[in-house]
Chain A
Amino acid sequence: MTEETVIEVEDLWFSRNGEVILEGINLRVFQGDFYAIIGPNGGGKTTLLRAILGLIPPDRGTIRILGGLPRENRHLLGYVPQLRTFDFTYPISVRGMVLSGLLGQKKGIIKTFNTEDTGLADKALLTMGIGHLANRVIRNLSGGEQQRVVIARALVGNPKVLLLDEPTVFVDTPTETQFFDILENLARSMTIVLVTHDIGVIVSHVTKVACLNRRLYTHDSRELTEDMIQGAYKCPVDIIAHGHPHRVLRSHPPEE
């Protein structure tokens, strides 16, 4: 894989109501990375992703997506938000919702879908293992199925990077394993940035880990090694030193 930088964050600061949420964040995501950012709730994970997407203006620092500003290039990313920013009772079919993910790449004022687009949508649904749901209305789906549709919508435009914010929140444990198998397959052909508070699951799949709790602690391992696992678990220790011990320890399985 080439070493092209796809996301570059330099000295990013962000505060809300006078409280510092992100402090001097430096992050580089290269093409082909499966990058996990872990950290406690309230550690600034979602804020960081939203800043990368240009949805909130940072106090200081620069963000580059494929060398350009977030506003210019964010449509080349696939975003899976943590919170539902839409209404699941909206009258739209699964295929229709996935198709809406393609609109950003349509040129001109009048945007219509052709059979090629429908093919892309169906392919994205197959990738997520829900091809059979294409004609269903989204309000009749289960939480896990809905989450897969949300990811399919992010995938349909063949994004350079897939940004996932706590993607397993809506998924139960058995489907979760299956879910990470899908992600692992995707990681072969796509750069993925995954944000989660769940330390246990991610370690066996990702190629790089960083810990976020206001500051970002990076562990730049390229392969899956003992070192990296060590690194990942060293991180809560760092965070403890920064004064948030309880939160971190609670999400920490006792036998580890």
Chain B
Amino acid sequence: MAGVLASVACGIIGTYVIIRRMVAISGGISHAAFGGIGLGYYLGIDPLLGALAFTVGAALTMGELEQRAKQHMDTLIGAVWATGMALGILFIYLTPGFAPDLFGYLFGNILLVPAGDLLLMLFLVLVIGLTVGLLFNEFLAVSFDEEYAKVINLPVEHLVLLLLVLIALTVVMLIQVVGIILVIALLTLPAAISRECSSQVGTMMLYAILLGVVFTTMGIFLSAFLDIPSGATIILVSAAAYGAVLVKKKLIRRNC
């Protein structure tokens, strides 16, 4: 169930991440989440809420700074990435006692998603789906040709920030499934594969969602069968599929 919800979100948002080349930004956002998880432990609240605050904050900070301070995005990503991790380590150090499922947040634990988190995920999926559904054409224009979108007076800055926030929401969902460190793979691999065989953004999203469902399901069953960690298995299944598609494409020299 959590896998399906996560797949829907990363199919939609992963598509934008791939076509607008925001893979590294997503990495920065997901690692900033660690700071929020640490803060959650420290304050004794749900670490996922902390992660939500930190990822959205990191997304807005990077987006604003890129547009205002004229900094290169990869410099900002580096700064946010490391700062998020550092804050997380600090907060966890300051928290008395042992952080029980810290490992779950780092590497994912899809089999033990609490009902409350499942509800949060469902809510986030609805927010993401609704936003993209309503602003589909605008996101298309901005992710396709940002400068031209500016010339035709679309609110480009706001749209870009909104897209970053949506990435942040998706990252929070994926933390439950594969963990902070592996988020980036689940966000990008299904969409990267689906890009190879679709000619439209809409179909690309659809394929990416289906692939995500297949990968998470296969990963979970394999991990249960072989008794290995589920998050890592899901990623390895996805990566293997991506490799296979690339090899096949190289051999046949045509799409899918």
Contacts and interface: CB of A to CB of B under 8 A. Distances in A.
Contacts of B198: 91
Contacts of B143: 90
Contacts of A55: 147, 150-151
Contacts of A97: 144
Contacts, number: 77
A111 interface: yes
Given A86-B144, A100-B149, A153-B148, 16 more contacts: A53-B151, A55-B151, A74-B152, A74-B153, A77-B151, A79-B148, A81-B147, A85-B147, A90-B144, A91-B204, A92-B140, A92-B201, A100-B140, A101-B148, A103-B138, A157-B152
Contacts of A93: 199-200
Interface residues of B, number: 25
B195 interface: yes
B145 to A, nearest CB: 4
Contact of B195 (A81, A91, A110, A113): A91
A243 to B, nearest CB: 32
A104 interface: yes
Contacts of A100: 137, 140-141, 144-145, 148-149
Interface residues of A, number: 31
A137 interface: yes
A81 to B, nearest CB: 7
Interface of B: 19, 134-135, 137-138, 140-141, 143-154, 195, 198-201, 204
B111 to A, nearest CB: 35
B137 A91 contact: no
Contacts of A101: 148, 152
Contacts of B151: 53, 55, 74-75, 77, 79, 104
